[in-house]
Structure 1
Amino acid sequence: MTTDKGLKKALGKQSSYRLPSNFTYRMMQQVREEAFARERREEHRLWWALAVFCLCTFCGVTYYVVKLYGASIVRWWHSLSFALPSVNAVLFFLPTLVALLCLGRLYWWLEKKMQSN
């Protein structure tokens, strides 16, 4: 009940705001554009803050894992290095891999074109 009275009182005190006669549509458009630009700047700042936070978190977790499991990771890497193929074998198959990726991309693009027609 008191909330309704408070709302009615606030509405009663609110003055009816009228735009001045020289306030044009172009001016209103500029106001909207400025508000949109301000909002974009704020989003941009928030995006950078999130990126920095994620980077710091990633670095912290990486440091913790290396500090905790460093010796195990080194032993695992040395044992894995014997199982990995040599550099010459990787370089031999690299052109084939690149060609397969290009053909896959071309196939995807052609399928997309065929579906749009």
Structure 2
Amino acid sequence: MLRRLVARGDIDQETRRVLGLFRSTALREGRTERRARLLADVRQVLVDGVEPNARVAALTALVSASGTLPQFHREIPWTSSVITRAKELERGDWGADVASAAVTRTVTATVVNSAIVAITVLPRGQAPE
């Protein structure tokens, strides 16, 4: 999945050296607007109350189940109503139960990063808070 996202230009990979010894790969937002579009769809569902299609509901449920939703506070306010709506989708009939169980059972940094990398990379030039 990561290779396809890089090939499409949704994500850019950059190889770096850490402490001058270790190689590390950094992921950055690519040349497309995919991240912004996905976040806008998720925001409409969580903040504006728009009824999601199955794809957006599953994506929202996966992000919620993985515990990464709070990191999007700049784009999606972290309020009690957002949390409630995200948990509803996580428990709903959108395949979220399967996603939640899979995340709980197999979550590692690599798996979560691969599963939601399209919306979790930082915009260019911004450091994490």
Q: TM-score range by the shorter chain?
A: under 0.3
Say which one has the larger Rg.
1
Structure 2 length-normalised TM: 0.18
Structure with greater helix share of residues: 1
Structure 1 length-normalised TM: 0.19
